[in-house]
């Protein structure tokens, strides 16, 4: 396949993935839809000259996105992909996980594994430090979207607030658990990976880190007996099918309700 070389091409391919997943009724569409929204927001920020080096940020966005796109097609074609993405995609084949778990499994793989590697690929060696400020700006964008997405997901779970209280604010704990820790670790990965010049050293680092990220992801999709019981209750109360839920994650249902 031909991989995107611009952020507009990334958006086009993400839209194709979403369309394909919707036709199959696949839960893989949840993360793809969220990722499309994030990508469009980053594109808007680039157009607004929000970053210190906007041209470099588009390159990073493309390199970053291509790692997800490659993993998606590898999995769909029964080819080997990273353990982190394998966990996220396999979770999509199961009924029990709630929408938030699907999103977090995807974010864990993409932020925890892909972001740091992509950053170091764009800025290898000592140049990685020049990326720090813009890297932090990406984190601000990602973090800022969490509350918006959580508010929209409450449309899928009408009883989310009382259940959330009983579950010790389960969805917020999972979001913080993933976003805060994964974003900090992503920069650490970038700094550690950037100096590696030999391919065998890069491959060794990637495999070892992939194992850690996958283990981290398992804690979110398999959180233990008590939380699994609570999650099952929430899952039963989720409104709608994949098609109706995807409207929420796209933000289109909110727009429809406001008309």
In terms of residue numbers, what domain contains 229?
7-253
Does residue 81 come out as left (phi exceeding 0), alpha (psi in the -120 to 50 range) or beta? Answer: beta
Q: Is residue 2 part of a domain?
A: no
Percentage of residues in the chain having pLDDT higher than 90: 52
Tell me the Cα Rg of the chain. Answer: 18
Counting Cβ atoms within 10 Å, is residue 70 exposed (0-12), middle (13-18) or buried (19+)? middle
pLDDT of residue 168: 47
pLDDT of residue 34: 87
Q: Is residue 42 part of a domain?
A: yes
Output 107 or 208, whichever has higher pLDDT: 208
- What mean pLDDT, rounded, does the chain reach? 82
Structure token digits, residue 245 = 């839920």
Q: Which residue has the tokens 């994030």?
A: 38
Q: Is residue 66 part of a domain?
A: yes
Q: Is residue 1 part of a domain?
A: no
pLDDT in tens, 150-172: 666 555 555 455 545 444 455 55
Q: Is residue 125 part of a domain?
A: yes
Residue whose C-alpha is closest to residue 41's, from 159, 155, 178, 137: 137
pLDDT in tens, 24-65: 889 899 899 889 988 999 999 999 999 999 999 999 999 999
Q: Is residue 120 part of a domain?
A: yes
Q: Is residue 240 part of a domain?
A: yes
Assess whether pLDDT exceeds 90 at residue 145. Answer: no
Task: For residue 230, name the pLDDT band (cuts at 50, 70, 90).
Answer: low
Q: Is residue 259 part of a domain?
A: no
pLDDT of residue 217: 86
Q: Count of domains in the chain?
A: 1
pLDDT in tens, 2-18: 899 999 999 999 999 99
Q: For 49-58, 71-80, 112-121, 139-148, which range has the lowest pLDDT when averaged over its residues?
A: 139-148
Assess whether pLDDT exceeds 70 at residue 175. Answer: no
């Amino acid at each position: 396949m031909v991989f995107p070389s611009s952020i507009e091409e990334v958006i086009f391919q993400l839209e194709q993935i979403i369309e394909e997943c919707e036709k199959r009724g696949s839960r893989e569409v949840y993360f793809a839809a969220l990722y499309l929204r994030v990508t469009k927001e980053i594109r808007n920020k680039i157009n607004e000259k929000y970053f210190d080096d906007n041209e470099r940020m588009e390159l990073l966005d493309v390199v970053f996105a291509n790692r997800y796109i490659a993993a998606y097609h590898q999995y769909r074609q029964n080819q080997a992909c990273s353990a982190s993405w394998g966990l996220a995609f396999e979770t999509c084949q199961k009924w029990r996980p709630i929408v938030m778990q699907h999103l977090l499994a995807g974010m864990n793989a993409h932020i925890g594994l892909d972001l740091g590697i992509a950053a170091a690929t764009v800025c290898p060696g000592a140049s990685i430090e020049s990326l720090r400020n813009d890297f932090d700006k990406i984190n601000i964008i990602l973090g800022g979207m969490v509350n918006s997405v959580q508010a929209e997901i409450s449309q899928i779970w009408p009883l989310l607030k009382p259940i959330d209280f009983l579950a010790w604010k389960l969805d917020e704990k999972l979001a913080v658990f993933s976003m805060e820790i994964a974003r900090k670790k992503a920069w650490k990965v970038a700094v550690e990976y950037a100096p590696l010049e030999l391919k065998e050293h890069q491959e060794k680092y990637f495999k070892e880190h992939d194992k850690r990220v996958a283990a981290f992801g398992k804690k979110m999709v398999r959180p233990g007996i008590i939380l699994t019981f609570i999650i099952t209750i929430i899952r039963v109360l989720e409104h709608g099918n994949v098609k109706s839920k995807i409207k929420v994650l796209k933000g289109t249902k909110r727009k429809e309700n406001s008309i």
